[in-house]
Amino acid sequence: MKNYFLFLPLVLCCTLGCHSGKTITHSIQQGGIKREFIVYIPQKYTANSPVPMVLNLHGYTSNAQEQMYYADFRTIADSANFILVHPEGTKYRDTTHWNTGGWTPGSPVDDLGFVDSLIIYMVFHYKIDLNRIYAAGFSNGGEMSYHLACHLSNKIAAIASVSGSMTPEVFRDCRPARHIPVLHIHGTQDQVVPFNGDPTATPIMTGLHFWVKNNQVDSIPVIQKLPDIHADDSSTVEYYVYPGPSTVEFFKINGGDHTWPGSTFKVPGTNYDIQASAEIWAFFNKYDLGGLRK
């Protein structure tokens, strides 16, 4: 089993009071298991009109609360008025995980069913725009985002993965019901999910080419080298766009490690030329279930 450990000293230097919204922990029963998730409701939310919803999925060994701080979308949610949901994984050999196959053999947890039930719960209790539900994740959470794209594309408008590839099982069994926009962010020096793959992780470019073919977009990307505005982070960024109605986009972090770019947590190997959370929302905001928003 691959070690997805990322040490996150949960220094809550910016508490919930730094944000204008409200945080509530909900739970549902799924597959005989109590499943919890943290919901962040922006102050602008009134329940008078439907708003988008973003699922923010933590990595292996982590949890919903750590993901809320580490891969922080709260300020963006306050400004753009969307609801954030931070689902909690279950224990696999005493460690939190998402069941995406490969390195979790024997895990009985139905995480696809959990996310589907979570969406139903949220739509019942909040005013959610059914055409604008998105999934983003880090590491094993990024793998789960791909799993959702493959098997829940009738509900997920677009996905983003940071430092998480498709597992071989997800890659093999992926049969999306529609074109689904995909954004990937990955460091070339990732020591946990190698850029060129391993027995538990599909090579990044192989996975991207799958989505290029699925979405029927241009196979020749437009590549832009972004300014190295933080030369002290020892990494640079190339931005790939495979043009089409449902684009595949890729931020290649040359020299980057297994981290969330732009995070306020100073994890070694983090790139600061881009802010992953802002880039992900900008990408999501272009799409709904019908494709490009009008």
**Calpha distance 61→151 (Å, rounded):** 24
Each residue of 197-218: pLDDT tens digit? 999 999 999 999 999 999 999 9
Top-confidence residue, 278 or 8: 278
Whether 6 shows a pLDDT value over 60: the answer reads: no
Does the pLDDT of residue 58 top 50, yes or no? yes
pLDDT tens for 272-291 read 999 999 999 999 999 999 99
Taking 90 as the threshold, does the pLDDT of residue 15 lie above it?
no
Contact 29, 90 (CB under 8 A): no
Q: Which residues contact 260 (CB under 8 A, 6 or more apart)?
A: 70, 71, 138, 162, 163, 267, 270, 276, 277
Residue 282 contacts by C-beta under 8 Å, 6 or more apart in sequence? none
Question: How high is the pLDDT of residue 103?
Answer: 74
The string of pLDDT tens digits covering residues 247-257 is 999 999 999 99
Which residues have a Cβ under 8 Å from the Cβ of 67 and sit 6 or more positions away?
Answer: 56, 57, 58, 59, 86, 138, 141
pLDDT digits (tens, 9 = 90+) for 76-127: 999 999 999 999 999 988 899 999 987 777 789 999 999 999 999 999 999 9
> What burial class does residue 225 get, using C-beta atoms within 10 Å of its C-beta: 0-12 exposed, 13-18 middle, 19+ buried?
exposed
Question: What pLDDT sits at residue 101?
Answer: 81
The band of 18, judged by pLDDT with boundaries at 50, 70 and 90, is low
Strand partners, 161: 137, 184
pLDDT at site 77:
98
- State the Cα–Cα distance between residues 18 and 227, nearest whole angstrom: 30
Q: Does 131 have pLDDT greater than 60?
A: yes
Is the pTM above the cut of 0.85? yes
18-292: CATH number: 3.40.50.1820
